[in-house]
Structure 1
Amino acid sequence: MQQEYTRTNRRAPGQKGRGFLSTLLLIVVTLVVVLLLGVGGYVAFLMAKLPKVDRLADYKPPIVSQVYGDDGTLVGEFYLERRLVVPVNKMPRKLIQAFVAAEDASFYSHRGIDYFGIIRAAFKNIISMRKKEGASTITQQVTKTMLLTPEKKLSRKIKEAILAKRMEEKLTKDEILYLYLNQIYLGAGSYGVEAAAETYFGKHVEQLNLAEMAILAGLPKAPNAYSPIKHLERAKERQAYVLDRMVAEGFVTQAEADYARKSPLTILPGRRVMNDRVAYFLEQMRIYLEEKYGEDQLYKGGLKIYTTMNATMQGAAYEAVRSGLKAVDKRQGFRGAVKYLQQAEIEQFCDKVEEGIDSAALKVGETYPGVVTAVDPAKGTATVRVGERYGLLDRKGMAWAGKLNLVNSYGKPEKAAKTLGLGAVVDLQVLVPDQNNQGAVFALDQVPEVQGALVSIDPRTGGVKAMIGGYDFRKSQFNRAVQAKRNAGSAFKPIIYAAALEKGFTAATVIDDSPVEYPAGLGKTWSPKNYDNTYRGPVTMREALTHSINVVSVKILEKIGVDHAVEFAKRLGFSSKIEPNLSLALGAASVSPLELTSAYTAFANKGVHLPPYYIVKVVDSEGRVLEEYHPPAPPAPVVPPASDAEQVVTLTDKPAPVKPAEPLPSAGSMQVARSERATSPEVAYLITNLMESVVQSGTGHRAAAIKRPVAGKTGTTNEMKDAWFVGYVPQLVTGVWVGFDNQARSLGAGGSGGQAAAPIWTDYMLKAVAGLPVQGFDAPETVSVVRVNPKSGKLSRGVDGASEAFIRGTEPSVYEGD
């Protein structure tokens, strides 16, 4: 029995192995089920938190707001992402095909995910042992950029795949392309094909040819590496790849591709926007627009902002201020190298410089930071490096800095301002570009420490045509044209003289230029001094203003009354506080360049002052006008004041008073409701006529270089801390200020208004008025001209007489010698 029992319970061969396999299989199946349940649960968890695809159907990408000049020229932009949205039906079909061929050849056949593409990419990546090819479809790229974050996680890839499938169910292929081609980043700060077409080629997207389309389609893979601005050869290699893919997909023929490959490319070195040239003007508007419409509307809403700016004038203003400030700064001498590098530091420094250069070749006239890499003391020359480029700095290019000692060693020398050694970092202006690897030729330059401002206004409308608020907006956003308050110096004298004309003074009124003292309190006295410390005795108002005689200005102000002068200044638009004291005659009032320039517009505009404005119209992305400004019609003329003032005025004379006009809105207001008459047409003409003499034979003689009728006045404050020139033709009033932000610092030799500010004004106006007809200043019918003795102001019968203008009825009645 025992033997029998043993035989019946013994297992058959292989039975034990099969049981183990069954158990193992059961465990594996269980694990797979658990894993699938876990994955399914995880996917379900992810799906519950996925963003809605439906909202993409109504999605409106953030659009750049564009700023236009007075002739429709694009002059600036406001944006977070530079994007110009264009519908798919405006995009050339071949442009779409170029992107499809390069990025997702099966776009029109897959439903969001290209499974074959995933397998193909995985195989190639395994073979090459690195990630050589991606497999994301255009739809997946849209989900990643618009619905997800760019993080590299498995969860994101799962979300991306799910959303891509959903997107294909909700949107048409053209709707997906609309999102993709308007959303994608294509380098150089451009988002979407329209912005990129403008950036690289200066064209609208529908104007592109096949060669240009292929360049754009090659950018998504690596926008910076394939940038046609900086890496044209690489861009053309990528272009060839795109064209080959288009041929393979049947989008173009081989002949079309070959023709496009050989077609010349005209690449713009950046967008057709004035950038730094308009920075201060744009900032002035940005403050107003952001406050009124909010950040989202301004930076994402696609506003069209039409301004008073004239692009040509703005560009001329930028160049004139920069070159003028450099000239003033160089008169102060060479300050030495910016810093000194050791030899091991040069490569890293040059790499950083290269990153900031946005063109294949250096631009003539532009200034770049460079480093001295070699010197030849015998020849007086230095080899310099700017980024990746080398060039020559010769004796002529360093002449303005005086005789520099060239040292063939590294490290900062003892006399840094007189020495240039190896490793010296200096500013270099390009004289000859680095073409064909022949090397550039440079001139030693220097970033000015002195600052300046320029404002140019159309007196007939109040529209600001150009505004520069400093040397470099990137280094200082402080807008000196609007925000700086500086003593006006003698540039304020025309306000005093015009106020005197209202009180019955004439151009022939004689005032004694002799020393005078005024009580200053605490037993002290104040004695105004003339600039040249000489006194001329009796002089006419014309001679006094022509030569900017200080003592005469003070005596005139004392005669007409300080309160009247302050009230008159307010009528001209001054909003800054003006202290009512006699030092006002010497320009002690602290005013902005905008205020002072705006005040002069009343003289150019026959007595009517229009507060300055910048914005003509604002239109939203739907074409709705949000605001619009129309310059007001000029007020009706007034009857000129009758005057019985004598022609020789002493401090006891009392001219007839004139009723003032109402005060005006403050200068700089963005919105203007009405125009106001600041003074009579006769007074405006007479003060203009007086300031013509300042240009013809006085301190403003440099302005005569524009060779047309011009009136203006220089201004120089004590110790040459501020230099001014404000001048005008009938169609344009321009003011220039030069000085240091540190108000205690002097401009030094050559820092007067005539030497520092007037040359900038002249340089600008030569270009600004080039397209304007030559016009004179028309005298009102109520102004008469008689011959007077220029010394005594009396009527003249002899050849020594000069023509002088008077308001009719105020002409002198006594002849010289009677």
Structure 2
Amino acid sequence: MRFLKYSLLALVALMFMGVVAVAGLYIYVKDDLPSVETLKDVRFLTPMQVYTADGKLMSQFGEQRRIPLTLDEIPQSMIDAILATEDSRFYEHRGVDPIGVMRAFWVLVSTGEIREGASTITMQLARNFFLTRERAWMRKVKEAFIALHIEQLLTKDEILELYLNKLELGHRAFGVGAAAQVYYGRDIHQLNLAEIATLAGMPKGPSILNPISNPAASVQRRRVVLFRMLSENYISRAEYDVAYRAPVTARYHVAELELSAPYLAEMVRQEMVDRFGVDEAYNGGYKVYTTVNSEQQLAAEHALRENLHAYDERHGYRGPEMRLWGIDPESLFSDENAQIQKLPDEATLSLMMQNQGEPWAEADIIEYLERQPRFGRLQHAIVTNVQEKTVDIILRGGMKANIEWSEMDWARRYISAERQGNPPQSADAILNPGDHILVRSVEAGYRLAQMPGPSSALVALNPNNGALQSIVGGYSFNHSQFNRATQAKRQVGSSIKPYIYAAALERNFTLATLVNDAPITQWNPGSGSAWRPRNSPEVYDGPIRLREALARSKNVVSVRLIRELGVNPTADYIERFGFDTADVQRNESLSLGAASFTPMEMARGFAVFANGGHLITPYFIERIEDSDGNVVFQSQPDYACARCAAEAAGITFSDDEQSNEEILNDWPQAPRVISEQVAYLVTQALQSAVWGGGSWAHQTGWNGTAWRAQALRNRNLAGKTGTTNDVKDTWFVGYTRDIVAASWVGFDNLEFSLGRTSLNGNLGRQRQPIVGSEAGATTALPGWVTYMETALNQLDDRPFELPPNMISVRIDQPSGRLTNRTDHTSMFEYFIRDTEPKEFVNPERRPQEVFEDDDGLF
């Protein structure tokens, strides 16, 4: 009895001392313990995701990959695996498991080593949120106290949900949802038992137990997890056996993008960083929905690339990227091999020296191809064999293919931008075994290709509210991140003329006004030289109506107009279209397009004609949602027609003007910068640039510079080409009522000209329809047409509505005066009321009343 008494006293004393020790420890560390109240409103660091208007993921930004899930969204097998491995008594203890602590203590006493940490899931959650992984007793003490606090604040399910979403699982994956995507590229519900067990085994050591970095260790850990699940009766023996023997299937998966639009994604990233700062933008879990339609964006990218390849092919083949064998490696550095486009790196040169001109082993070829960068749709390939009309190649991954003659017969030698060599007659005149080449996939297989020499940009807007419809800033974002659609200010050439003609129409000129299309010579005493603006082509037709002059892009007419209007008033007028004052030159060369604007600015300017005279503001973010799905930003664009936009959204207007005004306050009106009548008249002339005029049957027919757009078979198209001196920049900007798109092509290096081409005898006119000098009509317009083939299919075909205060009268085409004739010499023309001609044509005096200046006819 005495022994029992002393034993009980000792036990009580030990318990008392334990309580005092615990209390003392709590008092000692309580000031260092964080508040766990923050766990009630946890905000996980989640990457920003960027979507198209139709909900397709186009990009993801952020250091951490995380897909937050609620507990009921996580498979029960994943929950079972975590509980069995990390804390089988999770639903029984209060945050600290006494049994687990005693077990860890007994292992320490019996072995002298710390083999078990006794950490519960709640304690791990405390460490993951508030502490570090430092192996120290004081950290464990703090961990325990924080765990007790957490258990008082949250339910078990809430704790488990936080834990499963907070876990660090390697390769920047946080939480089981993101880990499923990173390692297996699938949703967590699509994983099998072996894969779930693999993920469940990683919290103990994510860097050394993940199946990518250490597959063997991962398999051993997976088997431990499966054994614990079997021991806890979560799985059957049969399930255990299947999962135990399963192979490692994990590999690194990037975010599964449904659409690649890197230039747009970068615009969004910059905007989000400006709004929220870097950390918040990258990790706040925002979902950004853009205004861009995925189908139109894909069409824009395809159109730009195909157009650049067409230009490059008609100018000739610049040769292979490199020759790996069949050549003395040292000769690569001589001038004799200038056509080889790049020099080998150290690893490649080593293999070339090792093989001494002999063909490489297939394994070396595959390894070499794996090191090559990706640019757009271009693929790297090595030529292994050349027959008379075909070429055998190896592509990345060891896939074998061939190039047929029809896919490489375009490849005559490039000499300069102005000259091409003779058409090749056989494959060995183009390629040799060992050549490193570029190819692109086509319907027939693979086509010989090369990185296009010039650059390009294509941007499309909704002219009614400025919503960006599609944007491509170059051939490949990987090749150049410079966004030419928004950053490249290039001379616009003749595409500036609609603004000048609009200024003239504001000053009582009409589409029937005659201006003299004749050569101009202006002597400059200061420079001692003459300025001689010329038409292109250098053909002069004498007196010509403004409609035809704009449609056929008569340079000297634009010069005469700016002289009549005045340079400064014309420049001021052009600035109405949203252009920066510093970019609008104030001299007569402005009439020929010496000003430099971006494709985005040009699309915005032409939108004024498309929407009836309003200056819209381009925007590309429709809305921003936070990680909980709440809308934190909703675009409120200015509309060219606020009432039209409201009615399209289903708003009903009443007879109460005050009530209607309140409704329209929610639909901001874009400012009017020109009259709707002038906008309509310019559109009429630009439709003639597409469809021409006159009578071909009576040999008076003429084409506008944009006649190639007739391929779209849409009578409501309007647009203007643009070509600068020496063909360094080419443009086409065109529109309908619901879309305006600008296409630009030119070299980034301003010293390079786009040049001209001769007919390739291998192709003939049918396969090479564009021959001669490059120009807006031949270089920029074809890409625009290709894009609009898709874009127009998504839009209603609506004609431009005739504004009020306008009339249509029949005029005599040569003179621009009224006529009663109804034959090919007459046409109906539109006029702002009271500007129409008042006199009928006099057949004895035709043409009549051509404007004159101090130097004579103008």
Structure 1 contact 382–394 (Cα < 8 Å) conserved = no
Which amino acid counterpart does residue 482 of structure 1 have in structure 2? T
Partner of 2:402: 392
- Match for residue 455 of structure 2 among 444, 451, 455: 451
Partner of 1:307: 290
Partner of 2:601: 595
Specify every segment of 5 or more residues in structure 1 that has no aligned partner in the other structure, as ranges: 1-42, 123-132, 405-415, 434-440, 638-671
Partner of 1:686: 681
Bigger mean CA deviation after superposition, 616-625 or 441-450: 616-625
Counterpart check, 1:82 vs 2:65: yes
Partner of 1:728: 735
Q: Output the CA distance in 2 between the equivalents of 1:617 and 1:728.
A: 26
Structure 1 contact 545–691 (Cα < 8 Å) conserved = yes
Q: Tell me the secondary structure at the aligned position of residue 499 of structure 1.
A: helix
Q: Output the CA distance in 2 between the equivalents of 1:55 and 1:369.
A: 56
- Match for residue 609 of structure 1 among 607, 615, 618: 615
Q: Aligned runs of 1:220-259 on 2, under 5 Å? A: 249-252=232-235
Counterpart check, 1:799 vs 2:794: no
Structure 1 contact 610–676 (Cα < 8 Å) conserved = yes
Structure 2 contact 259–294 (Cα < 8 Å) conserved = no
Once the two structures are superposed, what CA deviation does each residue of 1:262-299 show, in whole Å capped at 9, x if it has no partner?
9xx9x99864535642x222322332331232112211
Q: Tell me the secondary structure at the aligned position of residue 218 of structure 1.
A: helix
Q: Tell me the secondary structure at the aligned position of residue 387 of structure 1.
A: helix
Q: Tell me the secondary structure at the aligned position of residue 769 of structure 1.
A: helix
Counterpart check, 1:675 vs 2:698: no
Return closer, same or farther for 1:534/1:479 CA change in 2, 3 Å cut-off.
Answer: same
Structure 1 contact 470–476 (Cα < 8 Å) conserved = yes
What's the CA shift for 1:461?
0.7
What's the CA shift for 1:459?
0.8
Partner of 2:536: 531
Partner of 2:584: 578
Q: Output the CA distance in 1 between the equivalents of 2:624 and 2:753.
A: 43
Return closer, same or farther for 1:317/1:102 CA change in 2, 3 Å cut-off.
Answer: farther
Structure 2 contact 394–400 (Cα < 8 Å) conserved = yes
Once the two structures are superposed, what CA deviation does each residue of 1:299-341 show, in whole Å capped at 9, x if it has no partner?
1112233332222222222222222222223333222232344
- Match for residue 809 of structure 1 among 821, 830, 834: 834
TM-score normalised by L of structure 2: 0.70
Partner of 2:781: 758
Q: Output the CA distance in 1 between the equivalents of 2:800 and 2:117.
A: 72
Return closer, same or farther for 1:248/1:722 CA change in 2, 3 Å cut-off.
Answer: farther
Which amino acid counterpart does residue 80 of structure 2 have in structure 1? Q
Which amino acid counterpart does residue 569 of structure 2 have in structure 1? H
Partner of 2:355: none
Structure 2 contact 730–780 (Cα < 8 Å) conserved = yes
Q: Output the CA distance in 2 between the equivalents of 1:355 and 1:759.
A: 35
Structure 1 contact 635–677 (Cα < 8 Å) conserved = no
Once the two structures are superposed, what CA deviation does each residue of 1:681-725 show, in whole Å capped at 9, x if it has no partner?
111111111111111232212222333221011111111111111
Once the two structures are superposed, what CA deviation does each residue of 1:368-420 show, in whole Å capped at 9, x if it has no partner?
33334x2234564233241343433443443332489xxxxxxxxxxx99654
What's the CA shift for 1:772?
1.4
Structure 1 contact 723–737 (Cα < 8 Å) conserved = yes
What's the CA shift for 1:736?
0.9
What's the CA shift for 1:159?
8.1
Structure 1 contact 342–423 (Cα < 8 Å) conserved = no
Partner of 1:376: 386
- Match for residue 550 of structure 2 among 545, 550, 569: 545
What's the CA shift for 1:817?
1.4
What's the CA shift for 1:612?
1.3
What's the CA shift for 1:766?
1.3
Which amino acid counterpart does residue 94 of structure 1 have in structure 2? S
Return closer, same or farther for 1:388/1:160 CA change in 2, 3 Å cut-off.
Answer: farther
Structure 1 contact 215–236 (Cα < 8 Å) conserved = no
Once the two structures are superposed, what CA deviation does each residue of 1:63-83 show, in whole Å capped at 9, x if it has no partner?
122333334444433322232
What's the CA shift for 1:634?
4.5
Q: Output the CA distance in 2 between the equivalents of 1:470 and 1:310.
A: 19
Bigger mean CA deviation after superposition, 168-177 or 485-494: 168-177
Partner of 2:697: none
- Match for residue 751 of structure 2 among 744, 757, 762: 744
Structure 1 contact 795–816 (Cα < 8 Å) conserved = no
Structure 1 contact 219–226 (Cα < 8 Å) conserved = no
Partner of 1:424: 435
Q: Output the CA distance in 1 between the equivalents of 2:236 and 2:128.
A: 33
Return closer, same or farther for 1:228/1:761 CA change in 2, 3 Å cut-off.
Answer: farther
Q: Output the CA distance in 1 between the equivalents of 2:810 and 2:209.
A: 75
Partner of 1:30: none
Q: Tell me the secondary structure at the aligned position of residue 428 of structure 1.
A: strand
- Match for residue 705 of structure 1 among 708, 711, 714: 711
Which amino acid counterpart does residue 810 of structure 1 have in structure 2? T
What's the CA shift for 1:89?
4.0
Once the two structures are superposed, what CA deviation does each residue of 1:435-488 show, in whole Å capped at 9, x if it has no partner?
xxxxxx533222223211111111111111222212222232222111111000
Return closer, same or farther for 1:311/1:100 CA change in 2, 3 Å cut-off.
Answer: farther
Q: Output the CA distance in 2 between the equivalents of 1:489 and 1:213.
A: 65
What's the CA shift for 1:502?
0.9
Which amino acid counterpart does residue 77 of structure 2 have in structure 1? K
Partner of 1:778: 801
Q: Output the CA distance in 1 between the equivalents of 2:803 and 2:557.
A: 28
Q: Output the CA distance in 2 between the equivalents of 1:258 and 1:288.
A: 53
Bigger mean CA deviation after superposition, 739-748 or 512-521: 512-521
Q: Aligned runs of 1:41-80 on 2, under 5 Å? A: 54=36, 57=39, 59-80=42-63
What's the CA shift for 1:815?
2.5
Q: Aligned runs of 1:623-642 on 2, under 5 Å? A: 625-632=631-638, 634=640
Once the two structures are superposed, what CA deviation does each residue of 1:79-112 show, in whole Å capped at 9, x if it has no partner?
2223232332443333423555677777768958
What's the CA shift for 1:118?
9.8
Q: Tell me the secondary structure at the aligned position of residue 233 of structure 2.
A: coil
Structure 2 contact 690–719 (Cα < 8 Å) conserved = yes
Q: Output the CA distance in 1 between the equivalents of 2:136 and 2:372.
A: 35
What's the CA shift for 1:599?
0.4
Counterpart check, 1:273 vs 2:253: no
- Match for residue 334 of structure 1 among 317, 325, 329: 317
Which amino acid counterpart does residue 437 of structure 2 have in structure 1? V
Return closer, same or farther for 1:288/1:548 CA change in 2, 3 Å cut-off.
Answer: same
Which amino acid counterpart does residue 805 of structure 2 have in structure 1? T
Q: Output the CA distance in 1 between the equivalents of 2:138 and 2:782.
A: 65
Counterpart check, 1:518 vs 2:522: yes
Structure 2 contact 683–718 (Cα < 8 Å) conserved = yes
Structure 2 contact 391–403 (Cα < 8 Å) conserved = yes
Return closer, same or farther for 1:719/1:319 CA change in 2, 3 Å cut-off.
Answer: same
Q: Tell me the secondary structure at the aligned position of residue 532 of structure 1.
A: coil
- Match for residue 94 of structure 1 among 77, 84, 90: 77
Q: Tell me the secondary structure at the aligned position of residue 544 of structure 2.
A: strand
Q: CA RMSD of the aligned region, Å?
A: 4.8
What's the CA shift for 1:354?
4.2
What's the CA shift for 1:203?
7.8
Q: Output the CA distance in 2 between the equivalents of 1:269 and 1:705.
A: 43
What's the CA shift for 1:678?
1.3
Which amino acid counterpart does residue 679 of structure 2 have in structure 1? A
Specify every segment of 5 or more residues in structure 2 that has no aligned partner in the other structure, as ranges: 1-24, 109-115, 325-347, 353-359, 415-426, 644-666, 692-702, 757-772, 845-858
Which amino acid counterpart does residue 427 of structure 1 have in structure 2? L
Q: Give the % identical residues.
A: 36
Once the two structures are superposed, what CA deviation does each residue of 1:715-745 show, in whole Å capped at 9, x if it has no partner?
1111111111100111111111111110111
Structure 1 contact 193–216 (Cα < 8 Å) conserved = no
